[in-house]
């Protein structure tokens, strides 16, 4: 994937990625075998669909707005509110999705996928939790 400079969050341009939802844009800042870093812009009511990674950690940092990171794993289920300046790490094997519950405000987050070599995105269903985001893929 080509790397594009991002000067500010207002300069994010849409980069196609598999399992993309309308209203969810990704700008890759850096990518190599060790790590991929990117910024996501998520429209109200949109998000990244339910999935897991076999070997990859997702490290989320909130930039603007409030996002819900809904997760289900071996050690528990829940919802983490990602706010500006907050962060969470999603270990391999934990089912998760990102959702913007706002009715009027875009939200932004920075993400690191590590290691990036062997990255996979495995769509999954949750057994528990909240109503599903409407799949639009």
Please enumerate in sequence order all residues whose Cβ is within 8 A of that of 92, keeping only pairs 6 or more positions apart, or say none: 52, 53, 54, 55, 56, 57
Percent of the chain topping pLDDT 90 = 53
CATH of 15-118, one of 2.30.30.240, 2.60.120.10, 3.40.50.170, 3.40.50.620: 2.60.120.10
Answer yes or no: are the C-beta atoms of 97 and 60 closer than 8 Å.
no
Supply the pTM of this predicted model: 0.81
Kindly list the domain boundaries of the chain, sorted by start residue. 15-118
* pLDDT class of 25 with cuts at 50, 70, 90: confident
Please enumerate in sequence order all residues whose Cβ is within 8 A of that of 4, keeping only pairs 6 or more positions apart, or say none: 13, 15, 27, 28
Check pLDDT > 60 for residue 96. Answer: yes
Residue 137: predicted pLDDT: 38
pLDDT digits (tens, 9 = 90+) for 104-113: 999 999 999 9
pLDDT digits (tens, 9 = 90+) for 31-86: 898 999 999 999 999 998 899 999 999 999 999 999 999 999 888 889 999 999 99
């Amino acid at each position: 994937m080509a790397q594009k400079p991002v000067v500010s969050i207002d300069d994010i341009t849409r980069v196609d990625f598999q399992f993309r939802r309308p209203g969810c844009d990704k700008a890759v800042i850096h990518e190599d075998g060790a790590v991929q870093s990117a910024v996501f812009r998520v429209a109200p009511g949109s998000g990244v669909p339910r999935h897991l990674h076999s070997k990859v950690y997702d490290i989320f940092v909130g930039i603007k707005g409030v996002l819900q990171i809904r997760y289900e794993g071996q050690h528990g289920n829940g919802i983490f509110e990602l706010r500006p300046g907050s962060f969470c790490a999603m270990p391999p094997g934990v089912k998760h999705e990102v959702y913007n519950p706002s009715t009027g405000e875009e939200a932004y987050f920075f993400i690191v996928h590590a290691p990036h070599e062997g990255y996979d995105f495995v769509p999954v269903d949750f057994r528990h939790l909240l109503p599903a985001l409407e799949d639009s893929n």
